[in-house]
Amino acid sequence: MSDSIPQLEAVRSYLEQLQDSICDALEAEDGAARFDRRDIPRAGGGRSRPRVLSDGAVIERAAVQFSHTLGKQLPPAATERRPELTGGSYQAVSVSLIVHPCNPYAPTCHANWRLFFAVPEAGGDPVWWFGGGFDLTPYYGFEEDVVHWHRVARDACLPFGEALYPQMKQACDEYFYLPHRDEPRGVGGLFFDDLSEVPGSDGQGDASFETCFAFMRSVSGAFLDAYMPILRRRKDEPWGERERDFQLYRRGRYVEYNLVYDRGTRFGLQVAGRAESILASLPPVVHWRYDWTPDPGTPEARLYTDFLRPRDWLAESEDE
């Protein structure tokens, strides 16, 4: 595969700028801590730009990572979705981020946007596809926060057709799910994988690279509008030992998901990526309890009964 694919270079440039803008916004909101910013060449070409913020006034841990990866063979985390490309070479550019706030009333958030180019082992033209989205994981539920999150997600999709948001919301609910717990990880958002065609409002697909790239820019560009108002609203809520303990307990679910199910984590480890960068998404402090459930009627129990289940948040809010 050529080391310079014009479309990939355009996406790479956009994602690097996106990484900068998100880091700048999070630093400004925290007001105390700064990102550790590095630029690391990757073996065989490409580069990593790991950015990690720790022990801030508002944010306990944030990781906003850019990676450009080249390889002679797609790893299993990619070919399980595209088995016809097994043995093929590839290039991938991505930004992946996680924010773990200090305040238990402020939710964790995750986002990822990526582009793959792959060449089948037998040769031929590169195959490309986009992936990504964003999702929210609260510890204490606030309906106004979740409705805002989903409204921004819907609005980012609307220019490309009314069908996209419900499809990608459902895909997010299905993907960020812990089968061994029979439990969603959070309240969802958007998730798209192997995107090489954006269906329009007329039901017809537009398979152009430019349209898919524009959709990815719309969704990624909406991330700060979705998350920052929630973080600002919750960062100064009073909290104590009870709330902190529940936050650390629920963070354990996040660790379980990332290490067992997350394809991005497995992809990074399978291509021998920098482990410190890949695992920087994990929360710095976590508690596990044996066979624990919250008391009925408590705010902790309400997370399970009212929030950790698929809901049409926007339709419900309009009915009220």
Contact 282, 110 (CB under 8 A): no
State whether residue 95 is helix, strand or coil. Answer: strand
Report the alpha-carbon distance of residue 5 to residue 115 in Å, rounded: 12
Residue range 79-101, pLDDT digits in tens: 777 777 777 888 999 999 999 99
Q: What are phi and psi of 158, to 5 degrees?
A: -55, -40
Q: What pTM, to 2 d.p., does this model score?
A: 0.92
Stretch 65-83: mean pLDDT, rounded?
Answer: 81
Of 291, 293, 284, the residue nearest 254 (C-alpha)? 284
CB-count burial class (<10 Å; 0-12, 13-18, 19+) for 5: middle
Contact 120, 83 (CB under 8 A): no
Report whether pLDDT(210) > 50. Answer: yes
Contact 205, 198 (CB under 8 A): yes
Residue range 127-158, pLDDT digits in tens: 899 999 999 999 999 999 999 999 999 999 99
Contact 88, 200 (CB under 8 A): no
The chain-wide mean pLDDT, for the chain, equals: 91
pLDDT, residue 198, reads: 76
149: how many CB neighbours lie within 10 A of its CB?
27
One CATH from 1.10.10.1100, 3.40.640.10, 3.40.1500.10, 3.30.750.24 for 6-319: 3.40.1500.10
**DSSP calls for 6-43:** HHHHHHHHHHHHHHHHHHHHHHHHHSS---EE--EEPT
Report whether pLDDT(233) > 70. Answer: yes
Poorest-confidence range of 37-46, 76-85, 166-175, 186-195?
76-85
**DSSP calls for 149-176:** HHHHHHHHHGGG-TTHHHHHHHHHHHHS
Q: Which of 110, 148, 180, 287 is catalytic?
A: 110
Report the alpha-carbon distance of residue 46 to residue 69 in Å, rounded: 5
State whether residue 136 is helix, strand or coil. Answer: strand
pLDDT, residue 3, reads: 45
**Token pair for 49:** 């730009």
100 catalytic per annotation: no
Looking at residue 305, what DSSP letter applies?
I
State whether residue 66 is helix, strand or coil. Answer: strand
